Amino acid sequence: MWSSARRKSSDTAVNPSASAQAGRSFFIADLHLTDERPAATGRFFRFLQDEVAGADALYILGDLFEAWTGDDHDERVAGDTAERLATLAEAGTRVYFMHGNRDFLLAERYAARAGMALLPDPTRIDLYGVPTLLMHGDTLCTDDTAYQNFRRRARHPLTRAFLHRLPRAWRQRLARRARAGSEAAKMHKAAEIMDVNADEVVRVLREHQACRLIHGHTHRPAQHAHPVDGRVCERWVMPDWYTRWGYVVCDATGCTLRMDAL
């Protein structure tokens, strides 16, 4: 059953025809695709075909993949995903990709193969007349200082240059160690620390002069309201695709969060 943060009469059709999708943009994040979880991959491909086809744009806001070790990534899901996204892009839907903390090594070579344009984090877009800020969401978690330090080191140009020169098997080993270290570290972190910092949300909205923010990363799908300088601004958080799946879809009348069980 669909759960939705905001329903409109036009949202009743679960699988609308492609032509009905013009004038809409879809937002997804945290799919964490890997050959080890084929149900999520299958659901993603059906989502592209049944719901996104014909839409104006698809924005992938990070963590599309479980752990991307470079554009020579050898999982089958990498090739299949590039093919599906390229088909969507060729049919006229613009496809955008913003890096997440799991796939920050995804580069131009793979993006070109998938027909995706890379977006910096954050990016402000004009979404049907509403200035909208797009982020992965990890930089909003400013209370998680251990992660922010790790992020700075991992994303440093010298680290990237070093990683790019390593053989694939070494990069895969490092990624496994980083994943294990991260899981161990998270066991000792309070849940609030791993959520966004509300002051940081207000700060970025103010800095980018936007009153709507769409992000993922926290795996806490919801619609939030944040007062900013006398206005009530919207924050939309997309779901992960572990045991459920979902997206945010926006048109000229506003945004809706939709989710279902996988």
Q: Which residues bind ligand LP5 (CB under 6 A)?
A: 67-69, 101-102, 105, 138, 141, 144, 146-147, 150, 154, 163, 171, 174-175, 177-179, 181-182, 185-186, 189, 194
**67 or 116: whose CB is closer to Mn ion?**
67
Which does residue 100 bind out of Mn ion, ligand LP5, none, counting CB within 5 to 8 angstroms by kind?
Mn ion
Asked whether the bond before 131 is cis by omega within 30 degrees of 0, the reply is: no
Q: How far is the CB of 146 from ligand LP5 (least distance, A)?
A: 3
> Could you say which residues in the range 57-76 bind Mn ion, by CB under 5 A?
63
**160 or 208: whose CB is closer to ligand LP5?**
160
* Residue 217 lies near Mn ion (rule: CB under 5 A): yes
Residue pointed to by tokens 């002069």: 209
Give the ranges where the chain is alpha helix by DSSP (H).
Answer: 38-47, 76-90, 108-113, 145-155, 157-165, 168-187, 198-207
Question: What are 257's strand-pairing partners?
Answer: 248
* Residue 221 lies near Mn ion (rule: CB under 5 A): no
Q: Which residues of 231-244 are buried (b: 16+ CB within 10 A; e: fewer)?
A: eebbbbbbbbbeeb
Q: Report residue 54 as tokens.
A: 């014909």
Residues in contact with 6: Cβ distance below 8 Å, sequence separation at least 6, in sequence order: 223, 254, 255, 256, 257
* Residue 21 lies near Mn ion (rule: CB under 5 A): no
Q: How many CA atoms lie within 13 A of 126 on its CB side?
A: 1
Q: How far is the CB of 1 from ligand LP5 (least distance, A)?
A: 27
**161 or 191: whose CB is closer to Mn ion?**
191
Q: Which of 69, 101, 132, 139 contacts Mn ion by CB under 5 A?
A: 101
* Angstrom distance (rounded) from CA 211 to CA 202: 9
* Residue 100 lies near Mn ion (rule: CB under 5 A): yes
Which does residue 185 bind out of ligand LP5, Mn ion, none, counting CB within 5 to 8 angstroms by kind?
ligand LP5
Q: Which residues bind Mn ion (CB under 5 A)?
A: 63, 100-101, 217
